[in-house]
Structure 1
Amino acid sequence: MENKHLHFNTAIGVKKPENYRNKQTACPFCETDKLTDLIEVDGPIILLKNKYPVLENAYQTVLIETDDCHAELSTYTKEHLHRLIQFGIRHWLEMEQKGEYRSVIFFKNHGPLSGGTIAHPHMQIVGLKDLDYMEHVVQDMFEGIQIAYEEGVRFTLSSKPKVGFYEFNISMEDNLYQPKFAEYLQTAVHYILNHFPFKASSYNVFFYHVSKKIYAKIVPRFVTTPLYIGYGLPQVPNNLNWMAEEVEKLYFKKEVI
């Protein structure tokens, strides 16, 4: 029978440090002299093998985004932002191209409700040996109300969200990195943390490689609705147009003097 689930190693999981709630736990990503199994270092950006590989049948890596433990994606300079996103996409696609994995996932957790355990800004690139994440991807989850479009990069608010409520999408062709991709991603995160109509401190970023395009889906995280947990029913709010217009007004419409 074909495996359809990721298997989690609890013996390793209980050893993982956690410092979102346990503030006394030292940050392992700040102690760079103690990091091992480094794959590539680009100044403050470090890719290394995950010290706590809790997922079985997978190759897990961690991408440390910066040497500033209190930084966050929405606050990065444009120079660091582009350096980071290009670095991450390059390694993700290279791992895909090796052909050693059935699929490779690239994602980011931020905040206590994101499913992460370490507050220091980081992402993860994981090669799955017997699972294909594309089996759970449908094209309409990237459809939505357009907020901005420039240089071949599209920024939308999902009209058919994967989990429900509010999900931002960004897309570009996979053959050439476009700076607007990272900048729209940063805008979505900044809006969630600073202007969202409900107080939000957590989000996820998920990357997808579909039909020669790269997508990023940015999802503000709250307690997940029971209708999705129990029945897989995503809910679509009735104020999507308002939110899309609000983001456009805040970040893209220039005042006429």
Structure 2
Amino acid sequence: MENQLYFTTGVGQRKPNTINGRNIDCPFCKVEELDDIIAVQGSMILLKNKYATLRKTYQTVLIETDLCDSELSKYSKEHLYRLFRFAIDYWLKLHLNNQFRSVIMFKNHGPLSGGTISHPHLQIVGLEDVNYLLNYKREHFEGIVIKKCDFLEFNISTQPKIGFYEFNIRLSNLKVIDSMSDCIQIAIDYILNHFRYKCDSYNLFFYKIENEIYCKIIPRFVTSPLYIGYSIAQVADNIEDIANQIVNIYRKDLHN
């Protein structure tokens, strides 16, 4: 079993970059030119990734909306819920394919996120030889509780994977996907609009661990050299203040 992926540089060099190259036309806006479409729900389009840079994988893209300049924190509740029901349903179906050792789902947003296309989208990738759960540690998803109810917990990490501020959501029943979606939107809105540090980038990462689904939301800054060089994460000393601030700002939404 492999524990690393192999990047095809030739394909990577051909990928359009609309995050740092704003004069480049967005490929996701040219719907009539999209190939290998798997499914369509309203303005959401699931398709095979035209620029599949990772060897021995099955790479798909879920275009979230036809509004290129939109962003997840701005979605209506109706669209937000439909998006994550659609995405999670397809992601879980790929888990049933014995071709893959594991299936990842993630989202990049902003210039520090590692992404290249600014048009809102999720990526769902089947990995033939890599099991991402070999790098999983349960303590990376534990933290100070922001919201907790039947089948769901929303917290801020006390033992983050990379460092400083990481938000986690644990879902143990698919009937409350909408509540998970609400918490994701709250975390992203806080990062972009209320964080005490200016932040325009984030990542979402989804994990299927036994019978539960986890989502980790990470605001992106320049990565700490201690993590890059030594894999040592740092924990901010004000995460309890952050949790309390989120509860105060989003009190009404958290109690829905």
Q: Calculate the TM-score normalised by the size of structure 1.
A: 0.96
Amino acid at match of 1:35: L
Q: Counterparts of 1:175 and 1:45 in 2: how far apart (Å)?
A: 21
Post-superposition offset of 1:5: 1.2
C-alpha deviations, 1:67-115, integer Å up to 9, x for none? 0001100000000000000100000000001222000000000000000
Amino acid at match of 2:34: L
Post-superposition offset of 1:174: 4.5
Query: Could you tell me whether the CA contact under 8 Å between 1:86 and 1:177 is conserved in 2?
Result: no
| Residue of structure 2 equivalent to 1:20 | 19
SS in 1 for 2:205: strand
Amino acid at match of 2:18: N
Aligned residues: 253
Q: Counterparts of 1:152 and 1:195 in 2: how far apart (Å)?
A: 27
1:156 aligns with 2:159: no
Post-superposition offset of 1:21: 1.5
Amino acid at match of 1:83: R
C-alpha deviations, 1:110-130, integer Å up to 9, x for none? 000000000000010000000
Post-superposition offset of 1:137: 0.6
Q: Counterparts of 1:149 and 1:177 in 2: how far apart (Å)?
A: 12
1:227 aligns with 2:217: no
Post-superposition offset of 1:150: 3.3
Amino acid at match of 2:113: S
Amino acid at match of 2:128: K
Q: Counterparts of 1:10 and 1:63 in 2: how far apart (Å)?
A: 23
Amino acid at match of 1:25: I
| Residue of structure 2 equivalent to 1:66 | 65
After TM superposition, the structure 1 stretch with the greater mean CA deviation from structure 2, 18-27 or 174-183, is: 174-183
1:5 aligns with 2:4: yes
Amino acid at match of 2:49: N
Q: Counterparts of 1:91 and 1:174 in 2: how far apart (Å)?
A: 16
| Structure with more of its chain in helix, by fraction | 2
| Residue of structure 1 equivalent to 2:90 | 91
| Residue of structure 2 equivalent to 1:47 | 46
Structure 1: 5+ residue stretches without partners? none
Amino acid at match of 2:69: H
Q: Counterparts of 1:253 and 1:29 in 2: how far apart (Å)?
A: 35
| Residue of structure 2 equivalent to 1:189 | 188
Query: Could you tell me whether the CA contact under 8 Å between 1:62 and 1:123 is conserved in 2?
Result: yes
Post-superposition offset of 1:28: 0.3
Post-superposition offset of 1:23: 0.8
CA RMSD of aligned residues (A): 1.1
Q: Counterparts of 2:159 and 2:67 in 1: how far apart (Å)?
A: 36
Amino acid at match of 1:180: S
Q: Calculate the TM-score normalised by the size of structure 2.
A: 0.97
> What does residue range 122-141 of structure 1 map to in structure 2 within 5 Å?
122-141=121-140
> What does residue range 196-235 of structure 1 map to in structure 2 within 5 Å?
196-235=195-234
Structure 2: 5+ residue stretches without partners? none
Query: Could you tell me whether the CA contact under 8 Å between 1:151 and 1:180 is conserved in 2?
Result: no
Q: Counterparts of 1:224 and 1:237 in 2: how far apart (Å)?
A: 14
| Residue of structure 2 equivalent to 1:108 | 107
Post-superposition offset of 1:253: 5.9
SS in 2 for 1:113: coil
After TM superposition, the structure 1 stretch with the greater mean CA deviation from structure 2, 176-185 or 210-219, is: 176-185
Work out the percentage of aligned pairs sharing the same amino acid.
49
SS in 2 for 1:178: helix
Amino acid at match of 2:171: M
SS in 1 for 2:164: coil
Q: Counterparts of 2:55 and 2:16 in 1: how far apart (Å)?
A: 19
C-alpha deviations, 1:152-210, integer Å up to 9, x for none? 22110000000000000011114434311000000000000000110000000000011
Amino acid at match of 1:11: G
